[in-house]
């Protein structure tokens, strides 16, 4: 009966129900979009690190992100790393911003990623045209199809200039987006060094694989001791460093999280308002319930059920709209991301929001004097 | 016939308002209710009937005096404990029915069982049973707005007796009803008292109700000023009287 009464109370005033649902829907969509952007950004920022075939990553000292490594590591570091017990392999990787000159004139920037396919260190993924073999060609480069027009090229076979030399598009990927808005361009290790004018032993990162059975923390500490001009990080550590750099030093993440908090506050206020006025409208019925001997808890349950039912309806509607926005954003340069985890937390947030909203209504019914039932 | 009272009030005093607006609405009322009787509480407007009924129903706390409902002396009980006493021993009927407009007849009865923890099939079948008892077997799923005043009050009666309380309290149950419906509800209350051996107390200033009473308590200015009891062995002598009145009214 608690749910029956709660549902009937809700349906009794359709306009108010609509306002409630729009309030919840608005906050769900806002929070979903903000957190979806946050997740989407996080994935973009960490994708290359996550895809790297490494247990530990050696970076130049203080490298803030994947794009911030410089080209400072050389053979000395590589050999020192290789000589460390527990290390099985050390694969160099070059990553640097580079100027991209379009064939029709004009320029933009790319993040040049140089890695040898045979090293299995870091390869472009999501290839839709061309193969990993194609990228081994001396002038080959792979870019993401989303950025073709931005790079002033049409597709496979087009040439452009990257930093100091010509490159030819030999492969296209799908889904490799860049948070910095400078597209990633994948080429071979040596070609990257050439284009960037770097010595042929230089690299940005060293991807370290451990020998079977080696203890990762021990090797990490050992490496850190030997390589005093470098940082030795696990993938997780490097990912969170990159996230910190792009999402928090730049304020982008805070804006997204701030938007999400604002969204939930607005929703809470709207729901609190409508629930309170609904409770006020039905106060005589609550007083009757009380006179009939219901416990306070019973009445709270009715109000919480009203809040909960609103939450469920608002959540479903909100998620439908959020998923539509998500779908529409899939080809944009910043696609939203929705995960089961996020969907769950959004639901938890909605319930929490509605429970908080119920407080003012609950305070109201706590003050009910059942004696008012005779006063009519 | 001597029966143990199911309710006993001793020297109940109730002050309402404060300061210059202080009103002593009930000025030392003592009374007992026994099972199997329909008692009427009659008196002019403002004499304190509703106030007294609220106190007897454990809804309002008296300023002083003592009240026992069934086995419980309720003086000084908390609001939650009072609610429990109401749940366990009392049924209420109000002048304006106080049905839930968003619930149909059977649900209106069920909710009174629901607050008592009676749910599911037991609650549905009991609700149907009492609605049939009050003659609404054909109106089970009607909403209050689709019921006449008399029918609504009968739903309220069904709700009041659904949990088989030992005491039923009614405040002006016929005031909003026309003559015929008023009589039907009074007859119902009288039957509830007799056949189900409950104690029914109805506040009224409607003379049409007199004929159904086993006992009439008169209250004026917060004090009991008289009490009449129908002589034992005589079956509702006033009923004839009342039939005449009904004709007069018609
Ligand atoms: N909240 C209140 N504050 C102050 N005085 C009150 C309050 N409620 C009732 N009264 C006064 O208490 C007295 C008794 O009121 P009560 O409602 O019990 O009378 P009643 O016999 O039920 O009258 P009626 O037949 O008109 O319903 C009246 O004088 C009324 O004005
Ligand atoms: Mg009154």
- The whole-number pLDDT of residue A116 equals 86
**B146-183 pLDDT tens trace:** 999 999 999 999 999 999 999 999 999 998 888 888 99
- B197: tokens are 């051996």
> Closest partner residue to A294 among B83, B92, B101, by Cβ?
B83
Distance from CA of B175 to the nearest CA of A (A): 12
Report the sign of the C-alpha dihedral through residues A172, A176, A181, A184, in that order.
Answer: negative
Contact between B103 and A5 using a beta-carbon 8 Å cutoff:
yes
B141 CB within 8 Å of a chain A CB? no
The residue-averaged pLDDT of B4-24 equals 93
- Confidence class of residue B2 from pLDDT cuts 50, 70 and 90? low
- The whole-number pLDDT of residue B249 equals 39
The 10 Å Cβ neighbour count of residue A51 is: 15
Ligand 2 (single-atom ion) residues, CB below 5 Å? B 50
Q: Give yes or no for residue B48 CB within 6 A of ligand 1.
A: yes
- The whole-number pLDDT of residue B234 equals 54
Contacts of B112 in chain A (CB under 8 A): 292
Contact between A295 and B83 using a beta-carbon 8 Å cutoff:
yes
Q: What is the DSSP code string of A24-47?
A: HHHHHHHHHHHHHHHHHHHHHHHH
> Closest partner residue to A8 among B86, B95, B102, by Cβ?
B102
- The whole-number pLDDT of residue B233 equals 56
Beta partners for B201?
B39, B169
CA distance A110 to A99: 6
Contact between A5 and B60 using a beta-carbon 8 Å cutoff:
no
Q: Give yes or no for residue B50 CB within 6 A of ligand 1.
A: yes
CA distance B111 to A4: 10
Relative to beta strand A230-234, strand A56-60 is: antiparallel
Relative to beta strand A159-162, strand A87-101 is: antiparallel
Contact between A289 and B107 using a beta-carbon 8 Å cutoff:
no
- Residue closest to A17 by CA, chosen among A185, B145, A245, A25: A25
B122 CB within 8 Å of a chain A CB? no
B88 CB within 8 Å of a chain A CB? yes
CA distance A93 to A166: 20
The CA radius of gyration of chain B, in Å to the nearest whole number, is 18
Q: At what angle do helices A14-51 and A296-328 cross, to 10 degrees?
A: 50
A281 CB within 8 Å of a chain B CB? no
Residue with tokens 């030093």: A249
Listed as ranges, residues in chain A with pLDDT below 50 are none
Smallest CA separation from ligand 1 atom 17, residue? B50
B220 Cα–ligand 1 center, Å: 12
B230 Cα–ligand 1 center, Å: 29
CA B69 to chain centre: 14
Contact between A1 and B119 using a beta-carbon 8 Å cutoff:
yes
Beta partners for A111?
A97, A184
B23 CB within 8 Å of a chain A CB? no
> Closest partner residue to A373 among B80, B88, B98, by Cβ?
B98
Smallest CA separation from ligand 1 atom 24, residue? B45
Q: Which of B48, B63, B173 to mutate to test the pocket of ligand 1 (most atoms within 8 A of CB)?
A: B48
Mean pLDDT over each residue of chain B, to the nearest integer: 89
Residues A338 and A36 sit within 8 Å (Cβ to Cβ): yes
> Is the pLDDT confidence value at B247 over 60?
no
B10 Cα–ligand 2 center, Å: 21
Tell me the residues of chain B between 68 and 87 that have a Cβ less than 8 Å away from chain A.
79-80, 83-87
- The whole-number pLDDT of residue A50 equals 92
The CA radius of gyration of chain A, in Å to the nearest whole number, is 29
- The whole-number pLDDT of residue B232 equals 65
Quick one: which atom of ligand 1 is closest to the CA of B52?
Answer: 18
A372 CB within 8 Å of a chain B CB? no
- Residue closest to A338 by CA, chosen among A92, A26, A8, A43: A43
Quick one: which atom of ligand 1 is closest to the CA of A374?
Answer: 17
Beta partners for B46?
none
Smallest CA separation from ligand 1 atom 14, residue? B48
**B25-39 pLDDT tens trace:** 999 999 999 999 999
> Is the pLDDT confidence value at B114 over 80?
yes
- The whole-number pLDDT of residue B248 equals 35
For chain A, strand residue ranges (E) read 56-60, 87-101, 107-114, 127-129, 140-144, 159-162, 165-173, 184-187, 205-210, 230-234
Q: Give yes or no for residue B222 CB within 6 A of ligand 1.
A: no
**B66-113 pLDDT tens trace:** 999 999 999 999 999 999 999 999 999 999 999 999 999 999 999 999
Q: Where are the domains of chain B?
A: 5-101+150-227
> Closest partner residue to A5 among B86, B88, B111, by Cβ?
B111
Residue to substitute from A17, A293, A297, A305, interface B, most B β-carbons within 10 A:
A293
- B215: tokens are 């006992």
Closest ligand to the CA of B23: 1
Report the sign of the C-alpha dihedral through residues B142, B143, B149, B150, in that order.
Answer: positive
> Is the pLDDT confidence value at B235 over 60?
no
What DSSP designation does A244 have? I
B46 Cα–ligand 1 center, Å: 5
What DSSP designation does A155 have? S
The 10 Å Cβ neighbour count of residue B244 is: 11
Q: What is the DSSP code string of B125-179?
A: HHHHHHHHHTT-TT-TT--GGGS-HHHHHHHHHHHHHTT--SEEEEESTTTTS-H
Please list, in sequence order, all residues whose beta carbon lies within 8 angstroms of the beta carbon of residue B155, skipping any fewer than 6 positions away. B97, B99, B105, B108, B109, B131, B134, B136, B139, B144, B147
pTM across the whole model? 0.82
B21 CB within 8 Å of a chain A CB? no
Report the sign of the C-alpha dihedral through residues B1, B7, B10, B12, in that order.
Answer: negative
Relative to beta strand B199-204, strand B38-42 is: parallel
**A101-149 pLDDT tens trace:** 998 889 999 999 999 878 888 989 999 998 888 888 888 999 999 899 8
Residues B195 and B117 sit within 8 Å (Cβ to Cβ): no
The residue-averaged pLDDT of B223-248 equals 59
CA distance B116 to A295: 9
- The whole-number pLDDT of residue B239 equals 39
Q: At what angle do helices A340-366 and A252-281 cross, to 10 degrees?
A: 40
Measured between alpha carbons, how far apart are the two ends of chain B, in Å? Answer: 37
CATH code for the domain defined by B5-101+150-227:
3.40.50.300
Please list, in sequence order, all residues whose beta carbon lies within 8 angstroms of the beta carbon of residue A25, skipping any fewer than 6 positions away. A314, A317, A318, A321
Q: Give yes or no for residue B218 CB within 6 A of ligand 1.
A: no
CA distance A225 to A219: 10
Residues A281 and A13 sit within 8 Å (Cβ to Cβ): yes
């Amino acid at each position: 009966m608690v749910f029956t009464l709660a549902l009937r109370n809700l349906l009794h005033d359709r306009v108010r129900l609509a306002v409630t649902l729009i309030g919840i829907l608005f906050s769900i969509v806002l929070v979903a979009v903000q957190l979806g952007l946050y997740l989407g950004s996080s994935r973009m920022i960490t994708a290359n690190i996550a895809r790297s075939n490494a247990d530990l990553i050696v970076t130049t000292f203080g490298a803030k992100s994947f794009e911030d490594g410089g080209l400072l590591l050389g053979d000395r570091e590589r050999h020192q790393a290789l000589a460390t017990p527990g290390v099985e392999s050390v694969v160099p990787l070059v990553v640097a911003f580079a100027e991209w000159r379009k064939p029709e004139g004009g320029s933009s920037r790319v993040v040049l990623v140089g890695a040898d396919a045979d090293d299995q260190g870091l390869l472009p993924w999501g290839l839709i045209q061309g193969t990993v073999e194609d990228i081994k060609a001396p002038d080959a480069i792979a870019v993401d199809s989303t950025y073709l027009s931005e790079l002033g090229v049409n597709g496979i076979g087009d040439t452009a200039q990257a930093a100091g030399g010509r490159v030819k598009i030999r492969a296209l990927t799908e889904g490799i987006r860049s948070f910095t808005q400078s597209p990633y361009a994948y080429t071979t290790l040596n070609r990257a060094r050439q284009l960037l004018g770097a010595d042929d032993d230089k690299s940005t990162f060293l991807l370290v694989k451990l020998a079977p059975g080696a203890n990762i923390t021990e090797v990490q500490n050992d490496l850190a001791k030997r390589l005093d001009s470098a940082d030795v990080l696990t993938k997780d550590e490097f990912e969170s460093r990159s996230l910190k750099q792009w999402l928090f030093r730049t304020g982008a993440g805070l804006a997204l999280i701030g938007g999400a908090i604002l969204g939930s506050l607005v929703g809470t206020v709207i729901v609190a308002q409508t629930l309170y006025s609904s409770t006020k409208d039905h106060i005589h019925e609550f007083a009757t319930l009380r006179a009939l001997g219901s416990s306070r808890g019973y009445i709270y349950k009715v109000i919480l059920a009203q809040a909960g039912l609103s939450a469920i309806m608002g959540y479903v509607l909100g998620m439908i709209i959020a998923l539509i926005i998500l779908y529409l954003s899939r080809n944009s340069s910043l696609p939203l991301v929705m995960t089961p985890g996020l969907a769950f937390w959004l639901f938890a947030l909605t319930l929490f929001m509605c429970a908080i909203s119920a407080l003012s209504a609950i305070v109201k019914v706590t003050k009910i004097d059942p004696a008012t039932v005779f006063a009519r | 016939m001597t029966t143990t009272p199911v309710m006993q009030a001793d020297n109940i005093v109730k002050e309402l308002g404060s300061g210059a607006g202080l009103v002593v609405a009930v000025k030392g009322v003592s009374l007992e209710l026994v099972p199997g009787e329909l008692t009427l509480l009659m008196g002019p407007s403002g004499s304190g009937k509703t106030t007294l009924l609220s106190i007897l129903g454990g809804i309002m706390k008296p300023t002083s005096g003592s009240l026992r409902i069934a086995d419980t002396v309720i003086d000084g009980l908390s609001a939650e404990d009072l609610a429990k006493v109401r749940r366990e021993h009392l049924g209420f009927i109000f002048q304006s029915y106080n049905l839930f407009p968003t619930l149909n007849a059977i649900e209106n009865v069920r909710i009174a069982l629901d607050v008592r923890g009676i749910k599911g099939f037991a609650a549905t079948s009991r609700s149907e049973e009492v609605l049939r008892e009050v003659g609404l077997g054909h109106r089970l799923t009607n909403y209050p707005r689709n019921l006449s005043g008399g029918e609504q009050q009968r739903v309220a009666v069904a709700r009041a007796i659904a949990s088989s309380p030992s005491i039923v309290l009614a405040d002006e149950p016929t005031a909003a009803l026309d003559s015929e419906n008023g009589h039907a509800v009074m007859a119902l209350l009288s039957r509830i008292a007799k056949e189900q051996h409950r104690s029914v107390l109805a506040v009224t200033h409607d003379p049409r109700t007199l004929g159904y009473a086993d006992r009439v308590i008169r209250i004026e200015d917060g004090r009991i000023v008289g009490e009449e009891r129908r002589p034992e062995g005589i079956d509702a002598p006033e009923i004839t009287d009342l039939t005449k009145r009904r004709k007069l009214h018609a």
